[in-house]
Amino acid sequence: MKCVKCSGELEKVTVGGVEVDQCPKCSGIWFDFGELQKILGQPDLDRLKGSAPGAAASAAQDAVRGHCPRCGGAGNMVPVTDLHHQGVHIDTCLVCYGQWLDGGELEVLRKKGLFKSAAGFFRKLLKRKK
């Protein structure tokens, strides 16, 4: 499959028993429907670690509206902002519901998820002590 954002050829990577596709050029990752949610808590998620682009490169990648690599889509991918992960645009195909993360966005999702988990833990701990 071709990369959504650049001219790279996606390579298969298995994480937590789920096969996803990553671009070796821009570190973007393609997730078929439901795969992103399945891999977020996996211990071998580091296999997908990619370098985060600089702010200018990230803005440039966000501006690209590529076609779905799985089905071709009925048009361009649509950027969706997850309410739980504001600041990360998950490009989504409205035909097959596949999702694309630009290089570095997976790390942002992981960090925000870890921060939320730690914050929730401390909130619960403080409530118990009262």
How is 42-61 classified by DSSP, letter by letter?
Answer: -TTGGGG--PPPPHHHHHHH
92, part of any domain:
yes
18, part of any domain:
yes
1, part of any domain:
no
pTM: 0.76
3, part of any domain:
no
pLDDT in tens, 21-76: 999 988 999 999 999 989 888 888 888 866 555 444 455 666 677 889 888 766 67
71, part of any domain:
yes
pLDDT band for position 110 (cuts 50, 70, 90): confident
5, part of any domain:
no
- Spatial separation of the C-alpha atoms in residues 5 and 101, rounded to whole Å: 10
108, part of any domain:
yes
Dihedral of CA atoms 43, 47, 49, 50 in degrees, nearest 10, equals -170
pLDDT in tens, 64-109: 778 898 887 666 788 887 666 666 788 999 889 999 998 888 887 7
Which tokens sit at 67? 């076609």
Residue 14 identity:
T
Domain that holds residue 79: 11-129
Number of domains the chain contains: 1
